[in-house]
Amino acid sequence: MTTGSRWISIVGRLYYIVGLLYYLYNWLIVLGVGGLIASGAVYVHHPYLAATILPTSFCVLMVGTVILLKRKSIRLQSANPGLRELTLDSTYVIQNGHSCQYLRKVRLKCLADGVSSYQHKFRWTGDGDVYPLSVQGRHRLELSKEKYGSRTCCTVILERPLRMREEVELEYTLRLTSNGHPPKPFLSHTVYFPINKLVQSVQFNNDIPLKYKRQIFASATADIPVYEDNVDVFAGSHTLTYEVKEPRMFYRYSICW
């Protein structure tokens, strides 16, 4: 049950709403092109109206084009340039103070022929090692350290290369250990590419918190959230959840307890 949610500032709220444009850029391009055509059609009989429509349509078209080019540029620099995440479901299972499991289910759409692997990077805040436990199907799971950075790279080698527009669902589990330094009490994900749905869950075997927070941060490195929702844990419940449809690009969504 939600006991209190709020946007930290009006500016943060407006900026978050504007982020919806990353999902509507195609409509901006269509409206811009349609407006340019309409301005030409009415120019003879309504020149003043055409003079108003023309610059507005051009600006709308430019905004849509810039967003499209930026999305393509970011994707080409990503770890998975040939894949799009349709849905992402992450579950963090806290078994005790020093041992956890991380389960990820992701549905992917292939954007080009021949894609043979999927990779995601994460930062484990405990002081122990990370081990691959299982992967569904005949895929192969490999772990490595980021070459320039502190994150762990998790790579799923696919059973076979994918075809363009083919969809596949991956499910795999990691074991996270901590020796003396307990991990920080949060689970978060930063959205770098459009995704239909993001689900984050935290499961407890014992020591279940009475409350938790759902937070939205304006970037991967921001310390102060732009939105915060305080949630009561129902009696008998062992799971904290945070589900977001069409999360905004470049925002970080977090559960903390």
pLDDT tens digits for 30-64?
A: 888 988 898 888 888 888 888 888 899 999 899 88
In the prediction, which pLDDT does 117 show? 97
pLDDT at position 1 over 60: no
Grade residue 180 by pLDDT with cuts at 50, 70 and 90.
confident
In the prediction, which pLDDT does 193 show? 84
Q: How far is CA 56 from CA 33, 49, 81, 116, 234, in A?
A: 11, 11, 33, 44, 51
In the prediction, which pLDDT does 186 show? 95
pLDDT at position 235 over 90: no
Q: Quote the DSSP letter at residue 44.
A: T
In the prediction, which pLDDT does 30 show? 87
Which pLDDT tens digit goes with each residue over 124-163?
999 899 999 999 999 999 999 988 888 999 999 999 999 9
| pTM (two decimals) | 0.78
Q: What is the mean pLDDT of the chain?
A: 88
Rounded to whole angstroms, the Cα distance separating 6 from 256 reads 16
Which pLDDT tens digit goes with each residue over 85-114?
999 999 999 987 678 999 999 999 999 999
Burial class (CB in 10 A: 0-12, 13-18, 19+), 83: buried
100 close to 176: Cβ distance less than 8 angstroms? yes
Which pLDDT tens digit goes with each residue over 184-218?
999 999 998 889 999 999 999 887 888 999 999 99
In the prediction, which pLDDT does 43 show? 81
In the prediction, which pLDDT does 19 show? 66
Grade residue 12 by pLDDT with cuts at 50, 70 and 90.
low
Rounded to whole angstroms, the Cα distance separating 36 from 41 reads 9
Rounded to whole angstroms, the Cα distance separating 171 from 106 reads 7
